[in-house]
């Protein structure tokens, strides 16, 4: 019977007695280094929170943003990232997606997708400018997964039902996100009429319409705690 060390040397391979302990030691050292790095990041994060608090008014640090984006990318399975939008970009599909966006998404993202809304600016992390490469560079499959499943510990909710019944609508929203870079002033004006209106705003509009028709002075508008802003989901009053 051949000696294991002799066989290993003859075949050009290290003997088991020589290779396994060294390999295990290297793995143990690598795991220890990773654990120490994670512990260090945890201590730094805890120290940052103690000093700066947990205010949503702050902007994420470069490290937070980098780690969060990397984890989000890894959280979407590779087979889903490779998915291609099955809905063709027809005018009808874009019109339907535009109406859905104005009614459901513009509250945080704005009609133009730039996030310049009262809610979008005060989230943590802030609502992104979706016309920029950080969003436009995502694959169709990544955008679909983010819209449908949401992102934990952010303001990004999961939309649609857990099944596949509403997937077509979600893919149309992906089409509209691709279209954001080419939005026209006419489209943005059209979307203002699609934005949801609160009961107070509706009542104020009714009073103003009555006044224009000869009724009493409607008085100052009290429909919002914040003034209207470009791209907001709130319909601007005259």
Domain boundaries, the chain: 62-192
- Whether 207 contacts 222, CB under 8 Å: no
- Whether 101 contacts 117, CB under 8 Å: no
Mention every residue, 6+ apart, whose C-beta is less than 8 A from residue 21. Answer: none
- Chain-centroid distance of CA 149 in Å reads 10
Which residue shows structure tokens 């691709």? 178
Which residue shows structure tokens 């449908």? 148
Mention every residue, 6+ apart, whose C-beta is less than 8 A from residue 64. Answer: 125
Question: Homologous superfamily of 62-192 in CATH?
Answer: Cytochrome c-like domain (1.10.760.10)
pLDDT of residue 12: 54
Q: CA-CA distances (angstroms) from residue 71 to 13, 77, 95, 105, 161? A: 38, 11, 33, 24, 24
- State the Cα–Cα distance between residues 34 and 149, nearest whole angstrom: 30
What is the DSSP code string of 173-227? HHHHHHHGGG--HHHHHHHHTTS---HHHHHHHHHHHHHHTT-----S--S-SS-
- State the Cα–Cα distance between residues 175 and 94, nearest whole angstrom: 7
H/E stretch holding 147: helix 140-149
pLDDT of residue 10: 52
- State the Cα–Cα distance between residues 174 and 6, nearest whole angstrom: 62
* Tens-binned pLDDT, residue by residue, of the chain (238 aa): 555 555 445 555 555 445 577 778 888 888 889 888 888 877 877 776 777 777 788 888 787 788 888 888 888 999 999 999 999 999 999 999 999 999 999 999 999 999 999 999 999 889 999 999 999 999 999 999 999 999 988 888 898 777 787 899 999 999 999 999 999 999 999 999 999 988 887 788 788 888 888 776 666 655 444 444 445 444 333 3
Residue 75 dihedral angles phi and psi, to the nearest 5°: -75, -15
């Amino acid at each position: 019977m051949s000696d294991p060390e002799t066989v290993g040397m003859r075949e050009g391979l290290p003997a088991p007695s020589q290779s396994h302990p060294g390999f295990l030691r290297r793995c143990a050292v690598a795991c220890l280094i990773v654990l120490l790095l994670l512990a260090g990041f945890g201590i730094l994060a805890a120290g940052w929170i103690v000093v700066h608090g947990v205010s949503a008014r702050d902007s994420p640090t470069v490290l937070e943003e980098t780690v969060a984006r990397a984890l989000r990318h890894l959280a979407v399975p590779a087979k889903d990232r490779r998915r291609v939008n099955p809905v063709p970009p027809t005018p009808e599909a874009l019109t339907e997606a535009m109406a859905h966006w104005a009614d459901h998404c513009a509250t945080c993202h704005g009609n133009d997708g730039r996030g310049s809304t009262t809610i979008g600016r005060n989230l943590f992390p802030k609502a992104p400018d979706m016309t920029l490469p950080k969003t436009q560079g995502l694959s169709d499959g990544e955008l679909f997964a983010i819209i449908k499943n949401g992102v934990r510990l952010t303001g990004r909710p999961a939309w649609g039902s857990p099944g596949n019944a509403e997937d077509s609508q979600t893919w149309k929203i992906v089409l509209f996100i691709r279209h954001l870079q080419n939005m026209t002033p006419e489209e943005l004006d059209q979307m203002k009429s699609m934005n949801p209106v609160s009961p107070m705003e509706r009542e104020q509009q009714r009073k103003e319409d009555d006044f224009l028709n000869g009724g009493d002075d409607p008085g100052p508008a009290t429909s919002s705690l914040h003034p209207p802003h470009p791209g907001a989901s709130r319909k601007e009053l005259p």
